């Protein structure tokens, strides 16, 4: 990653370049950003500038030498990473929860989208709604990897993504080395919540704030990565407040919405109008999607129902209803009984588990339809079932 490839923050880039050129780089830097604003690519551009033997002073790393290429691929032996992981991950059961065991996922995430968000990392690690952590064992690994001799003699770097996910014990383990760094050892912390990091680490670090990229810079990048129209990309860029990572997440969510929304709407329409036959017929569309899509459909349906529940409770600001979903949310939300939601969430979740367990999809969605139908229609005196 070169500085010129990183979105926005032009002034900061020049400041970092001057800092390196004048030899005043601190041994502990704390990059503060809002999720998805590009602190990781910025950190990688900085490391590359510091390490590149062919760098152009005052400008950028060369971007093509073997050192630059290894750093770009996140495979340079002197550049280490620590990030929040969790044993709950899909493949975590047989891998200890240490970043080093998840580097493959980490690198491929970065290759696809260096602006990935914490939610993207959690999804890539299969954390299923859980949050990762940087454990004491991880802190020990960090100290171990920094105690090794530098491979190329151009410094050792430890990039710690989300130090706020360390508990006090792990943070205290790192503190000593942050306070008394070894020569040529650099910590680069990237945080979304500096107030949750122990103050001794913050006060020993040079704080560097990244700003969201301007919309006019974000839009073409978003278009190139998603194929959205300029108008759509502009909406996402604004809604995401200049965070490319968040805008990409929203666009991804929107594209799955346009795929799953018609089926979900059909299901809810038949349910609220007491049309059991129509409801069961509509299942053919879902059954035809195939197993992976069926699981995604369940997640989507659950999310859509959650949005309806939140809007009913006046929590609109955090319900994240997409523009194309507003019609469905406003139409069905008020028609569903209050008691419906909790039981519907469990039923949809159960359906997803059954799809995962290879149960016949026709049976799974027939059962789900019956449950949803009963939740809405049974007990209504004027409806026949």
Residues in the site for Zn ion, rule: CB under 5 A? Answer: 52, 54, 61-62, 65, 68
**Which of residues 70 and 165 has its CB atom nearest to Zn ion in the complex?**
70
**Which of residues 60 and 118 has its CB atom nearest to Zn ion in the complex?**
60
**Which of residues 107 and 154 has its CB atom nearest to Zn ion in the complex?**
154
Cβ 189 to Zn ion, closest distance in Å?
Answer: 24
**Which of residues 20 and 65 has its CB atom nearest to Zn ion in the complex?**
65
Cβ 72 to Zn ion, closest distance in Å?
Answer: 9
Cβ 71 to Zn ion, closest distance in Å?
Answer: 8
> Which residue is it, tokens 């998805």?
36
- DSSP one-letter string for 279-348: HHHHHHHHHTT-HHHHHHHHHHHHHHHHHHHHHHTT-GGGT---GGGHHHHHHHGGGS-TTHHHHHHHHH
**Which of residues 45 and 202 has its CB atom nearest to Zn ion in the complex?**
45
Cβ 69 to Zn ion, closest distance in Å?
Answer: 8
**Which of residues 65 and 371 has its CB atom nearest to Zn ion in the complex?**
65
Cβ 163 to Zn ion, closest distance in Å?
Answer: 28
Q: How far apart are CA 35 and CA 288, in angstroms?
A: 37
> Which residue is it, tokens 């704030």?
209
Sheet architecture: strand order including 156-161: 79-82, 156-161, 185-191, 28-32, 206-209
Q: How far apart are CA 226 and CA 42, in angstroms?
A: 22
Cβ 70 to Zn ion, closest distance in Å?
Answer: 10
Calculate the CA 113 to chain-centre distance.
10
Cβ 65 to Zn ion, closest distance in Å?
Answer: 3
Please name the residue ranges forming H helices in the chain. Answer: 10-21, 39-51, 66-72, 103-112, 118-124, 136-147, 168-179, 199-204, 215-226, 230-239, 244-272, 276-287, 291-312, 326-332, 340-356, 361-377
Between CA 269 and CA 273, with CA 272 as vertex, the angle to 5 degrees is 80
Instruction: Return the H-helix or E-strand segment holding 28.
Output: strand 28-32
Quick one: 198 exposed, middle or buried, by C-beta within 10 A (0-12, 13-18, 19+)? middle
Cβ 67 to Zn ion, closest distance in Å?
Answer: 5
**Which of residues 45 and 124 has its CB atom nearest to Zn ion in the complex?**
45
**Which of residues 1 and 228 has its CB atom nearest to Zn ion in the complex?**
1
């Amino acid at each position: 990653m070169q500085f010129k490839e990183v979105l926005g923050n032009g002034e900061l880039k020049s400041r970092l370049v001057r800092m390196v050129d004048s030899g005043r780089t601190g041994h502990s830097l704390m990059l503060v950003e809002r999720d998805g604003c590009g602190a990781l690519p910025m950190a990688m551009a900085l490391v590359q500038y510091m390490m590149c033997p062919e760098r152009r002073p005052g400008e950028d790393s060369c971007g093509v030498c073997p050192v630059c290429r290894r750093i770009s691929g996140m495979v340079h032996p002197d550049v280490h990473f620590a990030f929040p992981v969790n044993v709950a991950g899909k493949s975590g059961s047989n891998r200890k929860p240490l970043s080093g065991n998840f580097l493959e996922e980490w690198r491929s995430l970065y290759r696809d989208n260096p602006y990935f968000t914490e939610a993207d990392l959690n999804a890539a690690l299969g954390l299923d709604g859980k949050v990762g952590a940087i454990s004491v064992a991880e802190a020990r690994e960090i100290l171990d990897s920094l105690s090794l001799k530098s491979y190329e003699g151009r410094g050792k770097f430890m990039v710690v993504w989300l130090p706020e996910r360390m508990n006090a014990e792990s943070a205290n383990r790192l503190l000593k080395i942050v306070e008394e760094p070894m020569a040529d050892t650099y910590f680069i912390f990237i945080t979304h919540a500096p107030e949750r990091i122990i103050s001794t680490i913050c006060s020993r670090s040079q704080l560097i704030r990244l700003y969201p990229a301007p919309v006019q810079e974000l839009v073409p990048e978003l278009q190139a990565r998603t194929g959205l129209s300029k108008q759509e990309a502009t909406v996402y860029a604004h809604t995401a407040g200049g965070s490319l990572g968040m805008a990409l997440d929203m666009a991804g969510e929107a594209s799955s919405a346009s795929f799953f929304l018609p089926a979900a709407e059909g299901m809810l329409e038949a349910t609220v109008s007491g049309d059991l036959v129509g409801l069961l017929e509509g299942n053919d569309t879902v059954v035809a999607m195939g197993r992976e899509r069926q699981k995604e459909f369940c997640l989507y349906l659950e999310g859509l129902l959650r949005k309806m529940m939140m809007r009913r409770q006046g929590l609109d600001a955090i319900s994240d209803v997409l523009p194309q979903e507003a019609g469905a949310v406003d139409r069905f939300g008020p028609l569903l009984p209050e008691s419906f939601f909790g039981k519907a969430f469990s039923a949809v979740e159960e359906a997803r588990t059954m799809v995962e367990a290879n149960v016949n999809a026709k049976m799974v969605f027939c059962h789900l339809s019956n449950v949803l139908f009963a939740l809405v229609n049974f007990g209504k005196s004027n409806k026949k079932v």
